[in-house]
């Protein structure tokens, strides 16, 4: 398998999330169904709780905090300081692969040097690659099969 370095912003749409403080989310009653609220916590897939609020983001994307990243299998909303990464090729399995790669790089960040949108866009990650029409691209199928075998 060949691994290549990719700039995150070249293979993902990276955006800052709307800011919804957790305390404010408790007051919203815009919905009759519970929606997961994702924050920068390092546990429970970033889940801070469920609230009666409309989801702000679709399922099947990666949420990124200042140090952590999580694959989000369902639509959700978020708290302060979150970002998201999207790519049409994402699924549960390759999403978990990408999250693992991102979380191994969290040692580069701290309270004073946080992972913010512009840093994330320029961050480089090493991914399995496949040659397509003379150009290396991430091998989404390999990442999917790799995690399926271990999941």
Tokens of 103: 């979380």
Residue indicated by tokens 């150009």: 135
Residues in the chain: 151
46, 39 contact by CB (below 8 A) = yes
For every residue of 14-27, DSSP letters joined together read EEEPP---HHHHTT
Domain edges within the chain: 2-150
**Cα 95 from Cα 12, distance rounded (Å):** 12
Mean pLDDT over 12-32 rounds to 70
Domain 2-150 - what CATH class?
alpha beta
Reported as a single tens digit per residue, the pLDDT across 104-141 is: 887 777 777 777 888 889 999 999 999 999 999 999 99
For every residue of 57-102, DSSP letters joined together read B-SSEEEE-SS-EEEE-S-BEE-TT-EEEE-TT--HHHHHHHHHHH
Reported as a single tens digit per residue, the pLDDT across 49-71 is: 888 877 888 999 999 887 788 99
**Cα 71 from Cα 59, distance rounded (Å):** 9
């Amino acid at each position: 398998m060949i691994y290549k370095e990719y700039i995150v912003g070249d293979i993902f749409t990276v955006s800052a999330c709307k800011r919804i403080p957790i305390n404010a989310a408790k007051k919203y009653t815009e919905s009759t169904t519970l929606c997961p609220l994702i924050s920068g916590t390092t546990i429970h897939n970033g889940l801070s709780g469920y609230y009666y609020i409309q989801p702000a983001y679709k399922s099947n994307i990666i949420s990124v905090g200042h140090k952590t990243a999580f694959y989000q299998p369902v639509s959700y909303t978020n708290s302060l300081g979150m970002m998201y990464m999207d790519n049409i090729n994402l699924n549960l399995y390759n999403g978990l692969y990408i999250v693992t790669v991102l979380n191994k790089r969290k040692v580069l960040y701290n309270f004073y040097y946080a992972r913010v949108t512009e840093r994330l866009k320029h961050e480089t990650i090493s991914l399995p690659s496949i040659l397509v029409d003379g150009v290396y691209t991430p091998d989404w199928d390999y990442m999917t099969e790799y995690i399926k075998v271990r999941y």
